[in-house]
Amino acid sequence: MNRYASFSISLAVSFFCFAASLGITDRKKECSRVPLKGKIIQYGLASAEMDELIPDRLSPSRYMQSSRNFQFQKKTSRIPLVNGNIMFFDFVVFNFPKGKTKADLRIQVNFPEMTNFKGEKFTTLVRNVTARKSKDQNSEILSYQWMFLKEFPFEMVEGEWSFQVLHQDCEILKLKYYTFTP
């Protein structure tokens, strides 16, 4: 390759990197204008008894678990993969825009690859939820949980799990857990 071709390639790569960085900067500016904020108020390990399985086409197991006797165990980001253990976080969404009483949120869970009983592979789960401003405050408290059950052993995958809460594609909070086999 001659010197001019090498220079042209370097120049093209530099231009594309610069253009990509402008997009990132624009996105950060755009997200800085989103007034809605989030804050984690409690997180960690809990336990509960499974109450019922509710059909759910989004989850790897194809079920959502309803539980009873929820018991907070401890504040931690390390979660042992044991039947009935729950990793959870409670968070507050605040600073609703003036005149708005609700906000659409997306909770995205990223986790190590799991393969369900049908052979389907998953690394992400996305849930859409709506936060509603309370009458006397400009906020709402929400909770998200992931329960590990012996009925779905393929969900007991070791590694890093991240939970993001997004509003208008802008991250308002993020939390990481690390699951392990005791």
Is 87 within 8 Å of 76 (Cβ atoms)?
no
Q: What's the mean pLDDT when you consider all of the chain?
A: 85
How many domains is the chain partitioned into structurally? 2
- pLDDT, residue 145, reads 92
User: E strands along 23-133, which residues?
Assistant: 37-55, 63-74, 78-80, 85-94, 102-115, 121-132
Measure the CA–CA gap between 182 and 112, rounded to whole angstroms: 17
pLDDT-derived band at 74 (thresholds 50, 70, 90) equals very high
| Same domain membership, residue 75 and residue 10 | no
Summarised one tens digit per residue, pLDDT across range 120-156 is: 999 999 999 999 988 778 888 999 999 999 999 999 9
Strand 78-80 and strand 85-94: the pairing is unpaired
Is 108 within 8 Å of 125 (Cβ atoms)?
yes
CATH of the domain at 87: 2.60.40.2390
7-11, 25-29, 80-84, 108-112: the lowest-pLDDT one: 7-11
Write out the residue range of the structural domain in which residue 149 sits.
37-180
| Same domain membership, residue 100 and residue 149 | yes
Which residues are CB-contacts of 33 (< 8 A; sequence separation ≥ 6)? none
Summarize the confidence of residues 82-108 as an average pLDDT: 92
Q: Does the model's pTM come out above 0.85? A: no
